[in-house]
Amino acid sequence: MGLDFGTNSCRSLIVDLEDGHELAVCVINYPSGEDGILLDPTDPNVARQNPEDYFSTMEKAVKGALQQARDTSPGFDPASIIGIGIDTTGSSPGPVNRQCIPLGMLPEFKDNLNAKVWLWKDHSSHVEAAQITETAQEMRPEYLAKIGGTYSSEWFWSNILHCKNTSPEVFKAAYSFVEICDYIPAVLSGETRPEKIVRSVCAAGHKAMYNDDWGGLPDREFLAALDPDLENLRDRLYKKAVPSNQLAGRLTPEWAGKLGLKPGIAIAVGALDAHMGAVGAGVKERTLVKILGTSTCDIMVSPKHKGFVDIPGVCGIADGSVLPGYYGIEAGQSAVGDIFLWFVNHLVPDQYGKNLDEKFKNLEIEASKQKPGEHGLLALDWNHGNRNILADVRLSGLLIGQTLHTQAHEIYRALIEATAFGALTIIDRMREYGVAVEEIVNCGGLASKNSFLMQIYADIIDRPMKVSRSDQTPALGAAIFGAVAAGKELSGFSRVEAAQDMMTGIKEVYEPKSKNRQIYQELFRLYGQLHDAFGTREWSGGMHNVMKDLISIRERQRKRP
Amino acid sequence: MGLDFGTNSCRSLIVDLEDGHELAVCVINYPSGEDGILLDPTDPNVARQNPEDYFSTMEKAVKGALQQARDTSPGFDPASIIGIGIDTTGSSPGPVNRQCIPLGMLPEFKDNLNAKVWLWKDHSSHVEAAQITETAQEMRPEYLAKIGGTYSSEWFWSNILHCKNTSPEVFKAAYSFVEICDYIPAVLSGETRPEKIVRSVCAAGHKAMYNDDWGGLPDREFLAALDPDLENLRDRLYKKAVPSNQLAGRLTPEWAGKLGLKPGIAIAVGALDAHMGAVGAGVKERTLVKILGTSTCDIMVSPKHKGFVDIPGVCGIADGSVLPGYYGIEAGQSAVGDIFLWFVNHLVPDQYGKNLDEKFKNLEIEASKQKPGEHGLLALDWNHGNRNILADVRLSGLLIGQTLHTQAHEIYRALIEATAFGALTIIDRMREYGVAVEEIVNCGGLASKNSFLMQIYADIIDRPMKVSRSDQTPALGAAIFGAVAAGKELSGFSRVEAAQDMMTGIKEVYEPKSKNRQIYQELFRLYGQLHDAFGTREWSGGMHNVMKDLISIRERQRKRP
């Protein structure tokens, strides 16, 4: 069984180890806040979650999946479930007391947002993030080399430091801080000593600057330079983090009763959703998994024995964060689906439709009638900053080439193309640093639902775009780890790769169209010029060619039969 | 009486010479085509007019104005009208036969669009325009110096050459070509010999490369280099063009009867609407008149005795084209109101309103709640190319700074600001070349109707924006010339300036707000950076600051109380 704790809901997936098919799935939305997110009306940066939501929804999701399996597979026995894997959003840490109870569940902190779980998309800690980046640049540049050069406001230490700075009462009451991908397995396996919780190397390595090479978490001197209280906290966090093929513990009788499962089954170490999603999409050496949603996550792995150079501007590199024995490489774009949603919500007139779905559909119909470059437009995909390869939140959107005749569907197409150019820029950077991409597997909402976008991606990236067979790759990846953690005797799998072979696959392939290659190469060169000009300090040159080249391309394409 | 022949309608205005007040006005729309424009469904560049429309609508407009004057001013006598001034769009030439009959009115060319009047906004002749510019660059650079460096596809010679190239039968049947600002006075005064038509120096100087310094029209050698048939045409055009204080002729008894006016009254030489509009708005030395509409026209005058240097990138400089004894200087922006109309038509959702008017109104309400720079956006106003100071049609729009929260009214404000920055760029260029702007008078639809825009213009240009008292400055300017051409004995005026003193004025002044000065100066520096980077070959540098500066300005302004 895989349990996937997303931004808005909990999902339970049951996979049949006989043949790898998905037996049942059940999704339950978090009841608190707005779509499960606790907001602060006075500060748009704040995004928190109620820790109780995870447990109330998990119970319903597991029971729902079991019921569904019983309904659709006569003879199905819940006792045949041998292990649970868990993935969550992250970095999403929360404070706990010495008894491992989330402060947000205590009566005295019931209404204090700072005592809740700090959701990955919380941006309140940007000042602290800048302080951490600066301090590391001076004292420990090696820390930054593994995270693409910049520590994010979304991550573990930024959140903790901001909590200390703005809510000293919460910080003081916190015995430790725990990522929810570590906390949920701890609860299920009955661990109530914060220091003993088995921590995920995925969250630790990508979000908390953990690395075995420098002895785990950042050292005391560095933390003291940030804040003496962080130095003191270090011993109450963790010394060691491990991959998800290992056991976090075994299901307690109490939780077994609540969930309707057998006590004592394996609980795998948790991990972040994107990384487990990559596993569920079949990530392996030289395969790039792209998780395409409101933002995107690009995941690759590289065998440890081959060694590795850091890639500037690529978000994260952590040992074992995706597959044991491999470096996990994480990159991504801060906004993809979010850009389209912004555009359709704010700039598409009702002649395209009465609601979002209709507007999207008709934009696509109209945009697909055009040849590449026929709109004469080019955009940068930086409406929410650039995560990779520039790692700079102080960037913004750009649209160039509009005339008095430009229509909404043409801009929509240019925005899709911009995100594809951004994706290609990341692939090119990884290739420059020796990480060859031989296969691209896509998953997430856009991959399975938007064939117009997928074809543009295939054409622009100029490689086949494969789509993962499963629509719920994070939960599937979690289930794979649940099976491996349960041991070969029970599951038949001692290695994640073997489980992936059976359980993952491709359902569709978009082939690049050769007739579009040259035009998109020309447009990508112009994108690169804008990218480097507006995004880097080093670039210097002229821009006089850009509008003229776009007009020439437009004229050429309009004449093309 | 002033007669104003616009793009869509004819307007007749009667002014009382006792005190300068406007006695009556009557507007009649052209009956042919779409809003008076003959279109070609196969070619969006084509825009023609039916020459018959001018005369049928003039008759109604004059009679309507006379009736209105009689109704509102008891004792008014049509015989008290002493002169008629005429302004029209331009360059809007048409072919005529030896008897001065427009070919488009002959049965054999009834359905031939190339035999009609080629309206100013017709863009079919862009290939010929490029040929003329190149030929002049090689042979006669002095011709280009007076028109800002580039010959336009909208102008006289481009149209004639395109007619020759694509409709040889029309060209062959054409004895001569006449601008409508010359043709209408000729008809009213009974002139039927094409060579004898008194031609406007305004149309000739700004649109046909006419200049007394080089003996009038372009020389035979130059025209032969374009096409031998143009050389042959030269003698059937004109030798001399004159300002509008001079007589084109006197009203024939036949037309006097049709219009209900006294035969023999003065018909002034015609001119283009923007130039007469500037006169009606009170143009004088050091006063810039801005005619703000779908596009804008900026008009100034500089006394001949002071001499003059050419201003690179400023559209036109012609002796006497606005006021006799002055150089007329014409610049402008190719799209202003048209950019707003494009945006509202194509990119504003219905939450702002059900129709154009509601959308404009609500965009303005929302946009006016923001402080300058609070939207974090910057745009270039080049959706229809740049007329001045870059004189380059192969440019396009640009928008930078958008986030996932940017709303339509913020972009609307950024577009208005972009057109103001474009206007300021022209003013700065004129000042660099010694043409001081001490006063700015605005007229046209946007000036009298859009106070939100006018205040932004005042703040960005950092000068008081005055609004002309008359809402129909072209017709008023024409009436002024009608009075002066009639002679001092009848009208009391021998000089245009004296007539302007009585008949023109200011009704409203928008003062710049000092609190917005600094922010707009910062934004204008960034506009200048984008302008030079994308618009000039010479610029070289980095763009890394642009998005960051926009974000800093946004943050600063949002915090400002």
- The residue behind tokens 């031939």 is B112
CA atoms A453, B350, A406, A339: torsion sign? negative
Rounded to an integer, the average pLDDT of A521-525 is 98
pLDDT band at A357 (very low <50, low <70, confident <90, very high): very high
* pLDDT for the residue B52: 97
Say whether B335 and A404 touch across the interface (CB within 8 A).
yes
Closest CA to A237 of A218, A262, A264, A265: A218
Quote the tokens at residue A200: 């995920």
Rounded to an integer, the average pLDDT of A526-544 is 98
Buried b (16+ CB within 10 A) or exposed e, A74-112: eebebeebbbbbbbbbbbbbbbbbeebebbbbeeebeeb
Say whether A403 and B383 touch across the interface (CB within 8 A).
yes
What is the C-alpha separation between A88 and A91, in angstroms, rounded? 9
B454-510 pLDDT, tens digit each: 999 999 999 999 999 999 999 999 999 999 999 999 999 999 999 999 999 999 999
Closest CA to B340 of B459, B474, B450: B450
Which chain B residues are Cβ-neighbours of A411 within 8 angstroms? 347
Say whether A396 and B407 touch across the interface (CB within 8 A).
no
Q: What is the pTM of this model?
A: 0.91
Closest CA to B408 of B446, B381, B370: B370
B-chain residue closest to A399, CA distance: B399
Q: CB–CB of B31/B61 below 8 Å? A: no
Say whether B547 and A402 touch across the interface (CB within 8 A).
no
B320-358 pLDDT, tens digit each: 999 999 999 999 999 999 999 999 999 999 999 999 999
* pLDDT for the residue A148: 81
Asked if the model's pLDDT at residue A308 lies above 80, the reply is no
Say whether A398 and B400 touch across the interface (CB within 8 A).
yes
* pLDDT for the residue A321: 96
Cβ atoms within 10 A of the Cβ of A486, count?
A: 24
Residue B377 CA: distances (Å) to CA of A193, A341, B373, B402, B548: 51, 19, 7, 6, 11
What is the C-alpha separation between A16 and A456, in angstroms, rounded? 35
A113-145 pLDDT, tens digit each: 999 999 998 989 989 999 999 999 999 999 998
Closest CA to B463 of B393, B528, B514, B526: B514
Angle between helix B517-535 and helix B544-559 axes, rounded to 10 deg:
160
Give percent of chain A with pLDDT exceeding 70.
100
Give me Rg for the CA atoms of chain B. Answer: 24
Which chain A residues are Cβ-neighbours of B346 within 8 angstroms? 349, 406-408
Q: What are phi and psi of A230, to 5 degrees?
A: -70, -35
Tell me which residue in A383, A535, A550 faces B396 most closely, judged by beta carbons.
Answer: A550
- The residue behind tokens 């030489």 is B269
Asked if the model's pLDDT at residue B528 lies above 90, the reply is yes
* pLDDT for the residue A314: 81
Say whether A540 and B539 touch across the interface (CB within 8 A).
no
Asked if the model's pLDDT at residue B175 lies above 80, the reply is yes
Q: What are phi and psi of A482, to 5 degrees?
A: -60, -40
Give percent of chain B with pLDDT exceeding 90.
91
**Contacting residues for A386 by C-beta, under 8 A, at least 6 apart:** A333, A334, A392, A393, A395, A422, A535
What is the C-alpha separation between A291 and A288, in angstroms, rounded? 10
pLDDT band at A195 (very low <50, low <70, confident <90, very high): very high
Asked if the model's pLDDT at residue B92 lies above 90, the reply is yes
* pLDDT for the residue B428: 96
Tell me which residue in A536, A539, A546 faces B534 most closely, judged by beta carbons.
Answer: A546
Cβ atoms within 10 A of the Cβ of B431, count?
A: 12
Which chain A residues are Cβ-neighbours of B403 within 8 angstroms? 383-384, 396-397
What is the C-alpha separation between A55 and A30, in angstroms, rounded? 10
Q: What are phi and psi of A311, to 5 degrees?
A: -110, 115
pLDDT band at B314 (very low <50, low <70, confident <90, very high): confident
B363-415 pLDDT, tens digit each: 999 999 999 999 999 999 999 999 889 988 889 999 999 999 999 999 999 99
pLDDT band at A501 (very low <50, low <70, confident <90, very high): very high
Closest CA to A343 of A424, A412, A281, A280: A412
B-chain residue closest to A339, CA distance: B404
- The residue behind tokens 């776009």 is A550
- The residue behind tokens 């009556």 is B24
ipTM rounded to 2 decimals: 0.90
Q: CB–CB of A277/A447 below 8 Å? A: no
A80-117 pLDDT, tens digit each: 999 999 999 999 999 999 999 999 999 999 999 999 99
Cβ atoms within 10 A of the Cβ of B369, count?
A: 8
* pLDDT for the residue B148: 80
Asked if the model's pLDDT at residue A15 lies above 80, the reply is yes
Chain A interface test: which of B333, B386, B403 (most A C-beta within 10 Å) = B403
Q: 3-class secondary structure for B396-438?
A: CCEEECCCCCCCHHHHHHHHHHHHHHHHHHHHHHHHHCCCCCC
Tell me which residue in A349, A376, A401 faces B349 most closely, judged by beta carbons.
Answer: A349
Asked if the model's pLDDT at residue B308 lies above 80, the reply is no
pLDDT band at B59 (very low <50, low <70, confident <90, very high): very high
What is the C-alpha separation between B240 and A339, in angstroms, rounded? 60
* pLDDT for the residue B55: 98
Residue B521 CA: distances (Å) to CA of A265, A476, B435, B518: 68, 56, 22, 5
Q: 3-class secondary structure for B241-300?
A: EECCCCEEEECCHHHHHHHCCCCCCEEECCEEHHHHHHHHCCCCCCEEEEEECCCEEEEE
A430-478 pLDDT, tens digit each: 999 888 899 999 999 899 999 999 999 999 999 999 999 999 999 999 9
Angle between helix A451-461 and helix A408-432 axes, rounded to 10 deg:
50
Q: CB–CB of B245/B498 below 8 Å? A: no
A234-264 pLDDT, tens digit each: 999 999 999 999 999 999 999 999 999 999 9
Q: Beta strands B266-268 and A176-179: pairing type?
A: unpaired
Cα of B376 to nearest chain A Cα, Å: 9
- The residue behind tokens 């002066």 is B484
Q: How does the average pLDDT of chain A come out, rounded?
A: 96
| DSSP letter for each residue of A125-179 | THHHHHHHHHHHHHH-HHHHHTTTT---TTSHHHHHHHHHHH-HHHHHH-SEEEE
| DSSP letter for each residue of A259-293 | HT--TT-EEEPPEEHHHHHHHHTT--TTEEEEEES
Asked if the model's pLDDT at residue B309 lies above 90, the reply is no
Q: CB–CB of A89/A177 below 8 Å? A: no
Cα of A416 to nearest chain B Cα, Å: 15
* pLDDT for the residue B486: 98
Q: What are phi and psi of A488, to 5 degrees?
A: -65, -35
- Bridge partners (DSSP) of residue A9 are A29
Say whether B547 and A382 touch across the interface (CB within 8 A).
yes
Q: CB–CB of A48/A37 below 8 Å? A: yes
Which chain B residues are Cβ-neighbours of A551 within 8 angstroms? 394, 396
Q: How many residue pairs from chains A and B have C-beta atoms closer than 8 A?
A: 141
pLDDT band at B536 (very low <50, low <70, confident <90, very high): very high
Total residue length of chain B: 561
What is the C-alpha separation between B198 and B204, in angstroms, rounded? 11
Q: How does the average pLDDT of chain B come out, rounded?
A: 96
Cα of A316 to nearest chain B Cα, Å: 25
Which chain B residues are Cβ-neighbours of A412 within 8 angstroms? none
> Is residue B327 classed as helix, strand or coil in its secondary structure?
strand
Tell me which residue in A342, A347, A403 faces B397 most closely, judged by beta carbons.
Answer: A403
What is the C-alpha separation between B548 and B546, in angstroms, rounded? 5
* pLDDT for the residue B313: 80
Say whether A534 and B546 touch across the interface (CB within 8 A).
yes
* pLDDT for the residue A312: 82
* pLDDT for the residue B206: 95
Give percent of chain A with pLDDT exceeding 90.
91
Q: CB–CB of A96/A177 below 8 Å? A: yes
Asked if the model's pLDDT at residue B41 lies above 90, the reply is no
Q: What are phi and psi of B491, to 5 degrees?
A: -100, -20
Chain B interface test: which of A295, A538, A544, A553 (most B C-beta within 10 Å) = A544
What is the C-alpha separation between A257 and B35, in angstroms, rounded? 79
Which chain B residues are Cβ-neighbours of A403 within 8 angstroms? 383-384, 396-397
**DSSP annotation of B393:** S
Give me Rg for the CA atoms of chain A. Answer: 24
Tell me which residue in A347, A349, A394 faces B551 most closely, judged by beta carbons.
Answer: A394
